[in-house]
Structure 1
Amino acid sequence: MQFIDLHKQYDRIKEDVQKSMEQVYRHKRFIMGEEVCELESRLQEYTKVKHVITCASGTDALTIPLMAKNLTRKNAVFVPSFTFFASAESITLAGGTPVFVDSEWDTFNMDPVDLEKKILSTQQTTDLEPSGVIAVDLFGLPADHKEICKVADKYNLFVLEDAAQGFGGNIEGKKAASFGNIAATSFFPAKPLGCYGDGGAIFTDDDQLADLIRSIHIHGQGVDKYDNVRIGLNSRLDTMQAVILLAKLKIFDEELERRNEVADLYSQQLEDLLEIPIVPNGYHSSWAQYTVKAENQDQRDTIVKALKSQDIPVMIYYSVPAHKSTAYSKKIKVENDNLRICERLSSTVFSLPMHPYLEKHEITKICDAVKKSIKA
């Protein structure tokens, strides 16, 4: 049993991938080939966003827009602590200062109420200037972008949507990666839409910002290739990864539908045993992960141990929230009760296998193992 089954997926796209790879081998444009431009165009059509710029990783997709904002240490960017480290790391890499925000218990995503509290606290107790928000779509579920943007607009902050896990999700038909002022996604292999290496993309309707990003992601180049007008990065998606993504896009919506079927099967069997993930009305999750909550850390550890003993893969995202990481814990002072939901989540959640190729009997096996471990 696979936590994410890339083998079965490849069997579906193998012929398409091999044929397209042969074309790349023939034209030899391994960097910025025509397939990269085609992918950006397809992503524009999918998200209905005006500009899509591919890059070398999801982390770069977050960092580059922040670099375009010319952040300094005094620029505070608000970010959830219960997320992958890159969401906060990108702020530091771009020169800004992350300020951590608590999560909602039900959705795992940034709490808009706590966001406003953190903005006010930052204004009143620090020398930092509130400048932006990174709203993360965790585990496939889009964040509460309506309320987050309302708070951001009130304090004149930019919003960067981290759709690394949320790509494919939507709110009332509006696609993830189209919220806020700018958005970023990751094509890491484990993501709902993943390549066979690192890759990412940046999305915006802002013409001026798009021009800046196109410059930054290729060494800060100007009109002339060798006229570098700013400091940038070497962050381009290679052509072979674009080929993989183009093939996967053809079956993406079908896979998303199946992911939702898998999630429903899990929920039907687990709802009386554990706290299952919710999808608010009007929201559609891409189910990057199927994440449940145990009653406490001891129960979680018992269940995880039992599943692994039966060769059922299980993961814990994220046992160490960003504010408690070695990189940030000594630099950023956090009052004990300021991120209490985040810390409870870190000690109780675990994720079960999630991919479009899970069979019903496999889901039943997983759920039965969970039931037995709880009863024991």
Structure 2
Amino acid sequence: MEVPLINLSTDQETRNKLGRAVNKVLDHGKFILGPEVNELERNLESFTGTKHAITCSNGTDALILALLAKGVRPNDFVYVPSFTFSATAEAVAIIGAKPVFIDVDEKTFNIDLLHLKQSHELLTKKNIFPKGVISVDIFGQTCSYNEIQDWITKNEMWLICDGAQSLGATYNDTHVGNFGDITTTSFYPTKPLGCYGDGGCVFTNDDLLFEKIKSLRVHGEGKNKYDNLRVGLNARMDTIQAAILIHKLHDFTLELSKRRELSNFYTKHLNESFVKPFIIPECNPSWAQYTIKISHNSRDKVQNTLAKKGISTCVYYPIPLHMQPAYHEYMNLVGNKLPVSEKIAKCVLSLPMGCNMEQAEYVCQSLNELAEVTSSSFEVA
């Protein structure tokens, strides 16, 4: 049995609907910021309950737009978690600012507030005062936003929430998009809400930030793109992707329900030898990934054996950002070692999220047969 990590195929009914949506764009010919873009933004505002949604070209540009809107400049310092995809730190560095890597919580994999506090105390003693924090809702689980926001406010910093994997998740019954000063997301095809190319979005409840981001998205435009109020980007979403996302957003609640059903099945049926995802009680995740921990001595064997059985898995992420060659110059800001990030990078394994329940049963059966080569012990050195 073949079990894909993510199933991006579409049935004929969906193809027909998407075909009609794309043909409509081909008919009116407004391929950049056409009417579907505005419609999608209004629909995203309605879905999340956020005041403003500004679509853009991709999730990385969404982060860059957010940083520029907050006035981040070269040589500013910004806290980011190390255990995440490179775009989070890349957006900081590409502006010329300096990412300060923070360790993550060993249970949730999200940014560790205690290490953040300790790092901030260390840097301020050196007269280094970071401007803000980018949190990441890893694998679709939100951070503990009440605690983080309280500390952010106390220290007069801003918070950008990287929700590339968590659109559709809620924290205390509030949708992702409403936390921090700004929330960003990605519509990369493998995301819970993905388009058929690249796309992203920036959410904010702040009117002034909304006006800045909307301007920055189109070369810093004022009254029009030939009236430049600020240095900006070419970060517009194309209309065809917006048309596709309008349709997919309509079915997004069903997609989230399927992911939650699948995740609950994994949690119920996987052997206790595997360390299953720990979910904070305030959060209802979007389940971008279902990621288990197994002994680092066993992971390669387990992954290779599953592959021979036709089961696709993936390691997100094999190398923490503070250990990547691109970010070596930033390693010594709060020390060279982030033990939790380094440890879990050797132990995590993400299971298929694009399968039906019969395939999920096959995944669990195959993993449980391998349980004797795994270990549930996981102590951070």
TM-score by length of 1: 0.95
The corresponding residue for 2:307 is: 308
Q: Which amino acid aligns with 2:60?
A: T
The corresponding residue for 1:33 is: 34
The corresponding residue for 1:253 is: 253
Return the offset for 1:230.
1.5
Q: Secondary structure at the match of 2:105?
A: coil
- Mean Cα deviation higher: 254-263 or 322-331: 322-331
CA distance in 2, matches of 1:162, 1:29: 30
Return the offset for 1:3.
0.9
Q: Secondary structure at the match of 1:292?
A: strand
8 Å CA contact 2:299, 2:349 repeated in 1: yes
Q: Secondary structure at the match of 2:268?
A: helix
TM-score by length of 2: 0.94
The corresponding residue for 1:291 is: 291
Return the offset for 1:21.
1.3
8 Å CA contact 1:112, 1:144 repeated in 2: no
Instruction: Note the alpha carbon deviations across 1:289-330, whole angstroms, 9 max, x for none.
Output: 0000012x1111111111112121010000011111110124
The corresponding residue for 1:49 is: 50
CA distance in 2, matches of 1:246, 1:337: 45
CA distance in 1, matches of 2:107, 2:317: 16
Alignment of 1:202-221 (within 5 A): 202-221=202-221
Relative to structure 1, the CA distance from residue 243 to residue 374 in structure 2 (aligned partners, 3 Å threshold; closer, same or farther) is: same
The corresponding residue for 1:225 is: 225
The corresponding residue for 1:2 is: 4
Q: Which amino acid aligns with 1:19?
A: R
CA distance in 2, matches of 1:330, 1:204: 32
The corresponding residue for 1:349 is: 348
CA distance in 2, matches of 1:288, 1:6: 14
Cα RMSD after superposing both structures: 1.5
Q: Secondary structure at the match of 1:6?
A: coil
Q: Secondary structure at the match of 1:216?
A: helix
Alignment of 1:1-376 (within 5 A): 1-8=3-10, 10-11=11-12, 13-125=14-126, 127-295=127-295, 297-333=296-332, 338-355=337-354, 358-375=355-372
CA distance in 2, matches of 1:73, 1:219: 19
Return the offset for 1:51.
1.1
Instruction: Note the alpha carbon deviations across 1:70-109, whole angstroms, 9 max, x for none.
Output: 3234421111000000011111122321111111111111
Return the offset for 1:269.
1.6
Q: Which amino acid aligns with 1:113?
A: L
Gaps of 5+ in 1: none
8 Å CA contact 2:137, 2:163 repeated in 1: yes
CA distance in 1, matches of 2:13, 2:366: 30
Return the offset for 1:338.
4.4
CA distance in 1, matches of 2:189, 2:200: 11
Identity value in percent = 37
Relative to structure 1, the CA distance from residue 227 to residue 335 in structure 2 (aligned partners, 3 Å threshold; closer, same or farther) is: closer
CA distance in 1, matches of 2:242, 2:334: 45
Return the offset for 1:223.
1.5
Using CA pairs under 8 Å that are at least 6 residues apart, name the structure with larger relative contact order, 1 or 2: 2
Q: Which amino acid aligns with 1:303?
A: V
Q: Secondary structure at the match of 2:220?
A: coil
Return the offset for 1:59.
0.1
Return the offset for 1:271.
4.6
CA distance in 1, matches of 2:20, 2:334: 56
Q: Which amino acid aligns with 2:44?
A: L
8 Å CA contact 1:303, 1:374 repeated in 2: no
Return the offset for 1:124.
1.4
CA distance in 1, matches of 2:115, 2:203: 27
- Mean Cα deviation higher: 255-264 or 116-125: 116-125
CA distance in 2, matches of 1:78, 1:340: 17
CA distance in 2, matches of 1:303, 1:165: 25
Q: Secondary structure at the match of 1:109?
A: coil
Instruction: Note the alpha carbon deviations across 1:255-275, whole angstroms, 9 max, x for none.
Output: 111111100111112151200
Q: Which amino acid aligns with 1:276?
A: K
Return the offset for 1:167.
0.6
Q: Secondary structure at the match of 2:135?
A: strand
- Report how many residues are paired: 371
Q: Which amino acid aligns with 1:266?
A: Y
- Mean Cα deviation higher: 364-373 or 104-113: 364-373
8 Å CA contact 1:159, 1:182 repeated in 2: yes
Q: Secondary structure at the match of 2:243?
A: helix
